[in-house]
Amino acid sequence: MRRVVPLRPARGFTLLELLVVVAIVAVLGSVGLDRFWHLQEQAERAAMEQSLLGLKFALRIQMAAASAAQDPARLRRVADGNPFDWLEERPANYAGEVSPAVPEVPPGSWMFDRGHAEVLYRARRHASLEGADGAVLRFQLRPLDAAGRPVAQGAGFASMVLAPQGAYRWFERSF
């Protein structure tokens, strides 16, 4: 005959087991969250670089068209223009033209300072960004002579470049 063993009611986790599981989940969650924010910042940098390349490409097209037309007035209009006007479609995060003092625009926004002929980008996530004043990266339209050397503002020039104002490092990438 079979012997009947009385069943013990299920008691669940002990307090110690519960604390161990909670500690493991907390450690994994914090490591995962830190990595997530790191990847978010890398994605922002990549998107910023892509938009900057689009602006540089649009500038080259404008300069080539002005040079082909051999029209100094058109060249001057390019130099005085807003590079975002040359894009087929402005970035969704373009905040518009600003005064010399950068206003409170949302982080992750592009803007243009006509007074200084600067393209500005205010970073949203900037833990790894070095050299930016208040997480704002500045790029200036600089005139160049026919040999590609910088010339003084107002002097005759043959082309232009969108160059960083200062040295920036964002995840080991320099601008």
What is the span of the domain harbouring residue 20?
15-174
- 40 falls within a domain: yes
pLDDT band for position 121 (cuts 50, 70, 90): very high
What pLDDT band is residue 1 in, cutting at 50, 70 and 90?
Answer: low
- Whether residue 98 lies inside any domain: the answer is yes
Which structure tokens are listed for 87?
A: 């894009």
Chain mean pLDDT for the chain? 84
Residue 7 in domain: no
pTM score: 0.76
Residue 1 resides in a domain = no
Highest mean pLDDT among 27-36, 42-51, 133-142: 42-51
- For the cut 70, the answer to whether the pLDDT of residue 9 exceeds it is no
E strand segments, the chain: 94-98, 109-113, 118-122, 129-130, 136-144, 159-164, 169-170, 173-174
Question: Residue 2: inside a domain, yes or no?
Answer: no
Residue 4 lies in a domain: no
Question: Do 122 and 105 meet the contact criterion of CB atoms below 8 Å apart?
Answer: yes
Q: For position 159, what pLDDT does the model report?
A: 77
On the 0-12 / 13-18 / 19+ scale of CB atoms within 10 A, 78 is buried
Looking at the domain assignment, is residue 10 inside a domain? no
Q: Is the dihedral of CA 75, 62, 168, 122 positive or negative?
A: positive
DSSP 8-state secondary structure symbol assigned to residue 86: G
Number of domains in the chain: 1
Cross-strand pairs, 141: 162
The residue that leads in pLDDT, 122 or 7, is 122
In a domain, 163, yes or no: yes
